[in-house]
Chains A and B, each alone.
Chain A
C-alpha cells in the first residue's frame, strides 16, 4: 500500500461501491441490448407487442375444461382454463403423493425386513429415472388398454379403459347431502361416475409416483431425526405405539419434515407442465398454443412465469405458516 492512490482504493467501502456500479452497469447494458434486439426483431417480423391479444378470440379447442370454454372465447379465458387444469392436477398430486410417500417412508423404517426392502427398491427405482420417461410409460399403458366394452374392472366402481379411468363421484344436485354415484358399463358407454381422461390420469399417476419416492425419503429422515430416547421414554410412560407416533414422534419429526416437503410440493407444481408431452392442456400447453398462433412469445412466457411465481410464493407462504405452527417454541 504505497502512494495516494492506495489510500482511496484501499478503502473497502469505496471498492465495494465501484464493484457494484460496474456490475449494475454491465447488467443494465446487457438487458438494454437484449431489449433493443428483441424490439428490432419483433418489428422486422411484424409481430405485435403488448397484452392486447388476451382479449382476442383464441380459436382453438381445449380438450379438458373445468369452466365452460369454446374456441370463440378469448385467449385470457383459454389461459384461465389451462391454469385451472394445472391447479387441479397439482393439488390432487400433492395430496396423493403425501399419502403414498408417508406410507413408503414409514415402510422403509419398518422392523419388517421384507417390507423395508420392498419400499427401498421402489424409492431407488423411481427416483433415479426421469419423470418424463415415466410419464411416457404411464400414458402408453393407459392408451394401450382395451376399449370400453372390455374395460378392466379391478375394484367395484372402478373402470380402466383406453378412454381413461372411471371412478365413483359425488352428486350434489339431489338436495343437501351428496349422493355417491357408482359408474356402470352400459353397452359401449359408462353411466354415472367421473371419467378421468388418460392424459390426466397418466400425469397424475406420474407426478404422484415420482414425488412419493422423494417424500418417502423426507419422512424417513424426519422420523430418524427424533432421538431414540424419546420413543423409549414414551414406552416407559406406558403409551401405546399409536400414541407414541401421534403424540411424541410425529410432532417432533414434522419440524424436520415440513421445510423440504414444501419444496417437493413446489416441485409437483413445477413438474406439472410436463403435461405438454402427453397432451394434457395445462397452463404451459395452452400458452404455447397461444404463442404459436400470435407469435407473442415474450408476453406468453411472461404470463406463465408470473403465474408460477405467484403460485410458488402462495404455496411457500402457506407452508411457512404451517411450519411456524409446528416449530419448536423455545424460551
Chain B
C-alpha cells in the first residue's frame, strides 16, 4: 500500500528526495546543477531578451535572446520561398490539415466518410498550394516551403507507405517462396542503407531511371524516396503484429471458408495492427522527423527555411533562437503523436482488461 503524501510536503520530500545519504547527495547535486543553469537561462531567455519588431542591432544591445528574429523572420521560416502575398494559402492549408487531424483523432468519427473527408481535404490542400484554378495564381512545387512542405511530405509518405508496408509484411509471412524472397530482399536492403543515401538516389538516379525526356518534380522524387524507405521499417512493425496472432486464428479463418484476402482483412489484420500501434506510431514520428533530411537534397522544408532565414548575416549570431523555434514546432507534432498513441492503445485495449 502506497502511503499518501498529498498533504504533507515534508514527508513527500523525505521519501522522494532524501530517503538515504546517497539520495540526498544526488538531490543536492541536481539542485546545484539547476542553480547553475536556470538563472542564466531565465536571464537570457526572458529578462534580457528583446521582443517585438526590430533589427539585429536592438538584439545585440539587449544582450539576451533575440525573439525579435521570430517576429521579423517567422514568415520565411514557416512558408519558405512561397510567394509572400499568397501566404494565406499555405496558412489555410495547414489550418485545414490540423482540423482534419483533430477530427481523425476522435474515435467517434471513425466512419467510412472519414476516408472521403481525407481525400477531399488533401484535394483542397493541393488546390490551395498549387493554384492555377478558381482564380488562384499557380505556384510551382519548387517554391513550396516551410512547415506546409514538411507536413505534405510526411503525411503523403506515411499514407502511401502504410498500405505498401502491409503488403510487404504479408509477403514476408507468405508461404509462396518467390514472394517471400522478394519481400525479405526489399525490406532488408532498404533497412541496411542510410536514408540520406536513399534520398540521394531518389534525387540523382530517378531521372536516369525514367525514359529519356521525362522529368519528375524534385519534391515528388524526395516523396518517393521517403515512402520507399518508411515502408520497409513499417513492414517490420506490422510483421511483429502478424507474428503475435495465434495460429488458431488463421486456421479458424480457413475453416470458415474465407479466402486469403478475406481472412487477412476481416480476422488477422484488425487484431495484428491493434497490437502494434506503439511501434507504428513510433515509425510515424521517425518519418516526420526524417522529413528534415530533404534539406540535404535541396528542398525548403521547415528546417531548410529556418536555415535560410538565419543566412542573413545580421541575424546569423542568433541561430539558437531560430533553431529553438523550429525545434518547438517539431516537438509539438511528435509529442502529440506519442501521447495520442498511448491514449489510443489504452482506448483500444479497454475490452481486454
Spell out A's residues near B (CB within 8 Å). Answer: 16, 19-20, 23-24, 27, 34, 37-38, 40-42, 44, 110-115, 118, 124-125, 127-134, 136-137, 140-141, 144, 269-274, 276-277, 284, 288, 291, 297-298, 301, 304-305, 308-309, 312-313
Contacts of A24 in B (CB 8 A): 178, 182
Q: Which B residues between 270 and 313 are near A, CB-CB below 8 angstroms?
A: 285, 289-290, 292-293, 295-296, 303, 307
Contacts of A133 in B (CB 8 A): 292, 303, 323, 326-327, 330
A131 to B30, CA, bound (A): 27
Instruction: Tell whether B133 is near chain A: CB-to-CB under 8 Å.
Output: no
Closest Cβ of chain A to B34, distance in Å, is 8
Which of B193, B212, B330 has the most CB atoms of chain A within a 10 A radius of its CB?
Answer: B193
Instruction: Tell whether B351 is near chain A: CB-to-CB under 8 Å.
Output: no
Q: How many A-B residue pairs have CB under 8 A?
A: 150
Say yes or no: B30 contacts A132, CB within 8 Å. no
A19 to B178, CA, bound (A): 9
Contacts of B212 in A (CB 8 A): 37, 40-41, 44
A140 to B303, CA, bound (A): 14
Contacts of B179 in A (CB 8 A): 19-20, 23
Contacts A110-B26, A111-B23, A132-B292 given: A124-B335 contact, CB under 8 Å?
yes
Instruction: Tell whether B331 is near chain A: CB-to-CB under 8 Å.
Output: yes
24 contacts between A and B (CB under 8 A): A16-B176, A19-B179, A20-B176, A20-B179, A23-B182, A37-B211, A38-B209, A112-B30, A118-B30, A125-B331, A127-B334, A130-B330, A132-B295, A136-B319, A140-B319, A141-B320, A270-B193, A270-B195, A274-B196, A274-B296, A297-B208, A298-B205, A305-B193, A309-B193
A105 to B288, CA, bound (A): 25
The 10 closest A-B pairs by CB, nearest first: A113-B16, A128-B334, A130-B292, A20-B178, A309-B192, A130-B289, A273-B196, A270-B194, A312-B192, A297-B204
Contacts of B303 in A (CB 8 A): 130, 132-133, 136
Closest Cβ of chain B to A279, distance in Å, is 12
Closest Cβ of chain B to A266, distance in Å, is 8
Say yes or no: B331 contacts A128, CB within 8 Å. yes
A297 to B27, CA, bound (A): 56
Closest Cβ of chain B to A303, distance in Å, is 10
Say yes or no: B189 contacts A309, CB within 8 Å. yes
The interface bits of chain B over 187-215 (1 if a CB of A lies within 8 angstroms of the residue's CB, else 0) are 00101111111001100110111111000
- Which residue on chain A has the smallest CB distance to residue B334? A128
Report the count of interface residues on B (CB-CB < 8 A): 54
Say yes or no: B205 contacts A128, CB within 8 Å. no
Closest Cβ of chain A to B103, distance in Å, is 24
Contacts A16-B176, A284-B196 given: A115-B26 contact, CB under 8 Å?
yes
A41 to B209, CA, bound (A): 8
Known: A114-B31, A124-B335, A133-B323. 20 other contacts (CB 8 A): A20-B176, A20-B178, A23-B179, A37-B211, A40-B211, A41-B210, A110-B26, A118-B30, A125-B331, A129-B330, A131-B289, A132-B293, A136-B323, A270-B194, A271-B194, A298-B208, A304-B194, A305-B189, A305-B192, A308-B197
Say yes or no: A297 contacts B205, CB within 8 Å. yes
Contacts A128-B338, A129-B331 given: A112-B292 contact, CB under 8 Å?
no
- Which residue on chain A has the smallest CB distance to residue B18? A112
A38 to B201, CA, bound (A): 13
A41 to B326, CA, bound (A): 40
Say yes or no: A41 contacts B207, CB within 8 Å. yes
Instruction: Tell whether B177 is near chain A: CB-to-CB under 8 Å.
Output: yes
